[in-house]
Amino acid sequence: MEILRSWIIGLCAGALICGAVQAICPKNSSGSAVRLACGFMTVALLIGPLKELNFEEYALRLAEIRAAGGEYASAAISGGDEQIRIVIEQECEAYILDKAAELGIKNAAAAVSAKIADGGTYPYPYSVELGGEADWEQRNRLSSFIEGELGIPAARQYWSGENEV
């Protein structure tokens, strides 16, 4: 930051000096030479810091920044995948509980587990743990609903307890 600050101060000082010199110069050919010299001085002040720049160090720092950016992007993507999985689980649970209420199941509970298939990209509902006071007909109807709507086969639907009506 100090290098940038000193560069800007030098550039402003040079521009002020050139402006003052050009203001007192005549408008003839000698004034044109002064304006040309002021232009060269301004360009020299602009590109002066480049001679001090170590391009190898710059390239190294740039590579480090890019690598860190890639790591941060990977972390954000994996965190995003986890958030997607949580949302899918919550939405499926709410969907199941709504259907259980329609079927008259009391104290219904659902805990959906989602996972990503081998070679897949997005999580899908894999299994569900169910609970509540339901008779066999209600359980079978809810199980059929879950299999048909969410794709969770009956073999991965687990009822906790024996809370039958």
Segment 9-18, tens digit of pLDDT: 888 998 899 8
- Please report how the helices 55-103 and 136-150 are oriented relative to each other, as an axis angle in degrees rounded to 10: 150
Q: Which residues contact 42 (CB under 8 A, 6 or more apart)?
A: 11, 14, 15, 18
Confidence of residue 165 (pLDDT cuts 50, 70, 90): very low
Residue 104's pLDDT is 92
Distance of CA 142 to the CA centre of its chain: 38
pLDDT of residue 163: 45
- Rounded to two decimals, what is the model's pTM? 0.51
Nearest to 123 by CA among 162, 74, 160, 86: 86
Asked whether 106 and 131 are in contact (CB, 8 A), the reply is no
Residues 36-81: pLDDT tens digits? 888 888 888 888 877 777 778 878 888 888 887 777 766 655 566 7
131 forms bridges with which residues in the sheet?
Answer: 109
Helix, strand or coil, per DSSP, at residue 122? coil
